Amino acid sequence: MHRVHLASDLHLGAPDAVLSRKRELHFVGWLEDSAAGNNHADEGPATEIHLVGDTFDFWHEYKHAVPKGGTRLLGAIARVVDSGIPMHYHTGNHDLWTYGYLEQELGVQLHRDPIIRNYDGLNCMIGHGDGLGPGDYGYKRIKKVFTSPLLQWAFRWIHPDCGIPVANYLSRNSRARGGKEEIIFQSPEDEWLWLYSKEVLKTQDIDCFIFGHRHMPLDLEIPRPLTSSKSNPARYINLGDWIQYFTCGKVINGQASLLYHQKPHTSL
């Protein structure tokens, strides 16, 4: 039986070092409980764990250096992997500049695009979700720039003391840094990841789509096309975030669920 635990959008490093450390310690607790089978993982230790994008608010690997901070989380990831539990690291729109360090040093399995996994009969698509579906055209244009090999090569020649502050400045308007963008759920038809999932169902037999990026916990049904051999609807689950909602997902014995984790105490 698979026991899969998933979380996304920690945005470690934002909005500042003090608040980031509180969330980091809380998230490490969630990760270690998942690996040990404690508290929210009362069904038993996870058989695999997915970090579904934007674990860091900014991440860029230089040839001989990585950004400061997050050492407690990195150490916890290494311990979980060393214990024999596979960990999957999905890049998001804030932490996509990774070139092998996470795989080589921590032993995670890295994914840049959504993956499909079958867990005890439940066919799942898992990914961060940035740039998928209709809309979000501004980000899609920016992503082409960010994924340019030439730009990535050029950025590595900027000293970290200059490059990292510049990157943090560019991301200062993100939701993780207290940006003004308001997240409101109106209807499934207004959710572009729901629309993307519905389109995928026309050609692929998926039971559950699990994404992040939206910073809003959602669990929505998706009608299957008339040509599908299955009558029950598929599901779109958005994992929310670890800034406002502190939500996570589980797939246990072929059943997916969205959970609200206890928020960190202010004394952390």
* pLDDT for the residue numbered 17: 87
Percentage of the chain beyond pLDDT 70 is 87
- The domain ranges of the chain are 3-179+186-220+233-260
> pLDDT tens digit string along 138-154?
666 777 666 777 877 77
* pLDDT for the residue numbered 267: 40
* pLDDT for the residue numbered 71: 94
As a whole number, the mean pLDDT across the chain is 88
* pLDDT for the residue numbered 229: 85
Kindly list the distances between the CA atom of residue 168 and the CA atoms of 10, 49, 92, 117, 145, in Å, as whole numbers in the listed order.
Answer: 15, 28, 16, 34, 17
Which residue numbers in the chain have pLDDT < 50?
A: 180, 266-268
> pLDDT tens digit string along 176-235?
555 545 577 888 888 999 999 999 999 999 999 999 999 999 999 999 998 888 889 999
CATH number for the region 3-179+186-220+233-260 comes to: 3.60.21.10
